[in-house]
Amino acid sequence: MNTNKRKLISVNKEFDKKYGVTGSDTRSEFNAKAMAWYYGEILREKRIEMKITQQELSERTGLKRTYISRIERGETDMQLSSLIRISRALNLKFGLV
């Protein structure tokens, strides 16, 4: 008999404890930060894949390099117009559903 059984934990229950229940202000804030990080990571990876610097991306988009840096680190919630400009500069296509 296996005595090393582990109890499975629910990620949602752990998130509820740490960030508040779904629909709460604290959970919404966590979700917004997570999405900002996620999209920033995608853009950073594509920029690196294309072998261009943040400064070069800045010049292609007309956005400040410091703003691009903050986007890539997930520290800011970018505007849709910025996402479109960066996506075009990185040859990314996206659709709104």
Say how far apart CA 22 and CA 25 lie, in whole Å.
Answer: 9
- What pTM was computed for the model? 0.77
> Residue 59: CA atoms inside 13 Å, Cβ hemisphere, count?
4
From first to last of its 97 residues, the chain has per-residue pLDDT tens of 556 677 777 888 888 999 899 999 999 999 999 999 999 999 999 999 999 999 999 999 999 999 999 999 999 988 999 999 999 999 998 777 7
CATH class of 11-89: mainly alpha
The domains of the chain are located at: 11-89
> What is the per-residue pLDDT for 77?
85
